[in-house]
Each structure stands twice: as structure tokens, then as C-alpha cells.
Amino acid sequence: MRRSLFPFLAVMSLLAAACGGAAAPSAAPSAAATVAATAVPAAPKPDVIVGSTNFYEQVTLGEIFAQILEANGYKVTRKFNLGNREIVQPAVQSGQIDILAEYEATLVRFLDKNADPTTDKTQAQKVLQGLLDPKGLTALDPADATDQNGFAVTKDTATKFNLKKLSDVAAVAGQLVLGGPAECPQRPFCAVGLKDKYGIVFKDFKALDAGGPLTVAALEGKQIDVALIFTSDPSITAKGFVLLEDDKHLQLADNIVPVVRKELLAKDTTGGIKDLLNKVSAKLSQAELGDLNKQVSIDKKDGKDVAAAWLKKQGLIK
């Protein structure tokens, strides 16, 4: 009886629906429900490793990169103070780190000593990108801020030898000691360039750090006479050093640029990493860089705190 009743009830139900009976048709799914049913879950944000070379400006820039990414949901590992470019560049190329603050002209010459980077940051980026492509790396937007090699003396040395520009040094270099990073004697923007461009050959060279506290202390303490010191170094003003004019233009403008592994950018399907680091570059002026360096090296503030305060001041994090 129950089995034969089911077909009869089904037919009657269909007739009732056709005649406009009480049985209502199923409601069509809403647009929101359709989207919800078909939406693909967002891809997880990739983990990021931010690296730096071994001086305070690099560590501060690394903190800025790390903190803006962390504030936007990325898990960041810091690998700071790894050493000089000879150590850090292979690390980023091999994937031991993903992101690094670099300097356009210096990196161009490091990758190809015969390359000719210009003083225009946009053109320099194009030259740099051509060298980075085969290595699986990308140069993002360069900042206006630069940090390039400079050469400084004390006021006493400047007065004694009447030094205002690097050309003035050539005649007295045989009496002077140059101080700088250990790689300086082999670098085209350091001792090699001074000899080739200016004819400067010093009495001696003292290996110190890369424009850091050892170099500043040695210059102030008269252990050296001429120091390689970065042009954004706040100790130039704080210590009353004389930065010698690069009158023959040995140095090329080294705009700060984030260098990122292409593999990381490919994993970052939302494009957040590229957008966030480009926002940092857009805010990083020469004055801002100098102030960041002053806070860390002169005022002795913690680089993490300085980075966080700067990002908040620029409206890049809350």
C-alpha cells in the first residue's frame, strides 16, 4: 500500500504546482550565496626572510622592511649583520634571505665591474634590473635617499693641509693614512678609484669597519688621517669632520633600493610585499635617512624603536 501511494502523491503534487496551487517553487540562490559558494580561499601570505649587511643603517632599514610587513600579516624572520656584500649577495641569490636594502650604483658595479650606472635613479634601476634578472632577483622602486662613499678629515687636518676637495689630497697623500673597510683596497669606489681618478696614493691603509664607529673613533683619535665615511653619516656634523668634495665625481648616486627574490613575489599573489616596500621608498628622503641614522648612532636609540616610530610618523603602520 505505501509503495503504490508514492507515485500517486508525486503526480498530484506536480498537478497542483502547474495549476498554481499552494506549493511554492524553491527560491533562487542570492548573488551573495553564489559568490560564497564559488569563492576560492585566499592564498596564505608567504613567510619572509629579511637580511642586512653589518652596519647600523642596514639594520635600521631591515627593521623598517620587517615591521611594515609584519604589520600587514606577514611572518618575518630577521637575519641581520650577516657581513659585507660579498657575503650577503650570494645569500639573497641562493634564497637564504628574501629581501635586502641595497644601493643601486654600488650593486651594479659589484655585479658587473664594467657596467656604467648613471646618476639618475630610474635609469640606474633599469641597468641594475638587467643584471638581477638572471639571478632571480627584482629591484623595486628606489628611494630618493642615497648613501654613498665619502672621504672625511678632521678640521685640524683640513686646516693643516688646506684640504677642501679630494683633488687637494693628491699632493699630500704620501703623508696620510686612509682608514676604511677591509675590502677598500680592491673597490673601485674606494682606494682603487682614488688612485685611478685622482692619482691619490696613501702612505698606508688601516682596515676598520664600513664607515662605522671604529672608523669614526680612529679618525677622531688621529689613528688615521682620512676616513671612508658614508655621506649620510650623522657623525660628520656631530664630530665636526670635513667631508671632502668629490670634485671629479668618483662616486655615483647610490639610491637605496629594496632587492627581492622573484620567487617570493610569485608566491605573494596579492602583491602586498611589492606595494608595501615601494611605499617605504616613496617616503625615504635624504633628510629622513640622516635623521634615522642620527637617532641610532648618535642618540643611541634602539633601531627597532626608531624604525617603528618612523613608520608610524609616515602613516605606514598604526
What are the pLDDT digits (tens) for 169-202?
Answer: 999 999 999 999 999 999 888 999 999 999 999 9
Q: How far is CA 309 from the centre of its chain?
A: 18
Answer yes or no: pTM beyond 0.75. no
pLDDT of residue 38: 54
State the residue range of the domain holding 192.
Answer: 149-243
Last residue of a domain, one of 219, 243, 267: 243
What average pLDDT does range 2-23 have in this prediction? 38
Q: How far apart are CA 130 and CA 99, in angstroms?
A: 18
Q: Is 163 part of a structural domain of the chain? A: yes
pLDDT of residue 233: 85
What average pLDDT does range 107-126 have in this prediction? 87
Give the CATH number, domain containing residue 131: 3.40.190.10
Q: Is 130 part of a structural domain of the chain? A: yes
Q: How many domains does the chain have?
A: 2
Q: CA nearest 179: which of 147, 210, 200?
A: 210
pLDDT band for position 37 (cuts 50, 70, 90) = very low
- Residue 84 confidence (pLDDT) above 60: yes
Last residue of a domain, one of 243, 274, 305: 243
Q: How far apart are CA 219 and CA 241, in angstroms?
A: 9
Q: What is the CA radius of gyration of the chain?
A: 30
For the chain, strand residue ranges (E) read: 48-51, 76-79, 99-103, 137-139, 149-153, 177-181, 204-208, 226-230, 242-243, 256-261
What average pLDDT does range 234-262 have in this prediction? 89
Q: How far apart are CA 307 and CA 68, in angstroms?
A: 9
Q: Are residues 89 and 220 in the same domain?
A: no
269 vs 34, higher pLDDT: 269
Q: Are residues 53 and 142 in the same domain?
A: yes
Share of the chain above pLDDT 90, in %: 66
What average pLDDT does range 83-112 have in this prediction? 94
Could you identify the residue written with the cell 664607529? 213
